[in-house]
């Protein structure tokens, strides 16, 4: 199933660069025809066409022959005549932009593919595995999917009760990438939709603050104590700053470290 399946019909007036990925080629022609009957929508047809082009390839066909139409349809296009604002009709050949390479992934379309489709796209990336993806592509993917990886010897990857078995039982799709006698497993699962919390700021007026001199002096003293030495930035480096936390180790995960010696 696709993520974020819409519950209400999408119209040109409600179209965005995100929900346009839920629209199919045949829907575009219906939406366009309906919008021409709406005076407000009719004034913004160019804007809607620009949004459509983020998810669709739209070609204007000057003269359509039966042979040309057949050629377009074999390539996955839907071909039909549409009316413009000036009531002039043009012929459009429309096809949803395919997501076949990792560079096709965007923050707008990542929520509209399945975990299986995602792993299929990653598998086409020259078989390099998760670390072969750029940080920007990883950020896009992790915006919509829970991702974890492990690299183990082939004979240990599928052992009963291991990480692989647990992840699959938890609903993760998995891609296996062979690396000699070792295998990298990439696990992917759609993240549940959550609403972002809204911050509420309290507006404190000056009259809420104490006005006595002792309070003001204490505040000044606190500022003095917080002054940083002039060479503070020089003293703070990778040798002097550490953030540590404990992680419960797993036998499978310990084996991952051995892959560095390959």
The model's pLDDT over 101-117, given as tens digits with 9 standing for 90+, comes to 999 999 999 999 999 99
**How many angstroms separate the CA atoms of 128 and 197, rounded?**
37
CB 137 within 8 A of CB 110: no
Taking only the tens place, the pLDDT of each residue in 43-99 is: 888 999 999 999 999 999 988 899 999 999 999 999 999 988 777 889 999 999 999
- In DSSP notation, 185-200 reads EEEEEEPPP-PPPPP-
**How many angstroms separate the CA atoms of 28 and 26, rounded?**
5
Q: Is the pTM of this model over 0.95?
A: no
Q: Which residue has the higher pLDDT, 133 or 39?
A: 133
**How many angstroms separate the CA atoms of 80 and 63, rounded?**
12
153's enclosing H/E stretch is strand 145-153
Q: At 40, is the pLDDT very low, low, confident or very high (cuts 50, 70, 90)? A: confident
Mean pLDDT of 202-206: 49
CA max distance for the chain:
90
Q: At 145, is the pLDDT very low, low, confident or very high (cuts 50, 70, 90)? A: very high
């Amino acid at each position: 199933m696709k993520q974020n399946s819409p519950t209400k019909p999408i119209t040109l007036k409600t179209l965005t660069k995100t929900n346009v990925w839920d629209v199919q080629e045949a829907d575009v022609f219906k939406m366009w025809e309906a919008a021409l009957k709406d005076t407000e929508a009719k004034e913004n047809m160019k804007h809607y066409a620009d949004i459509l082009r983020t998810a669709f390839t739209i070609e204007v066909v000057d003269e359509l022959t039966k042979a040309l139409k057949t050629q377009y349809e074999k390539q996955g296009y839907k071909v039909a005549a549409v009316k413009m604002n000036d009531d002039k009709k043009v012929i459009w050949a429309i096809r949803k932009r395919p997501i076949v390479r990792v560079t096709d992934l965007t923050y707008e379309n990542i929520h509209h593919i399945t975990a299986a489709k995602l792993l299929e796209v990653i598998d086409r990336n020259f078989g390099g595995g998760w670390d072969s993806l750029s940080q920007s592509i990883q950020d896009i993917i992790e915006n919509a999917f829970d991702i974890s990886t492990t690299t183990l010897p082939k004979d240990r990857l599928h052992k009963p009760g291991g990480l692989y078995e647990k992840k699959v039982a938890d609903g993760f799709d998995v891609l296996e990438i062979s690396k000699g006698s070792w295998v990298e497993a990439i696990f992917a699962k759609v993240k549940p939709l959550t609403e972002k919390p809204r911050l509420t700021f309290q507006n404190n007026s000056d009259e809420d603050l104490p006005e006595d001199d002792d309070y003001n002096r204490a505040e000044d003293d606190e500022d003095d104590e917080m002054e940083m030495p002039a060479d503070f930035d020089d003293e703070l480096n990778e040798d002097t700053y550490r953030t540590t936390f404990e992680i419960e180790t797993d036998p499978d995960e310990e084996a991952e470290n051995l892959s560095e010696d390959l």
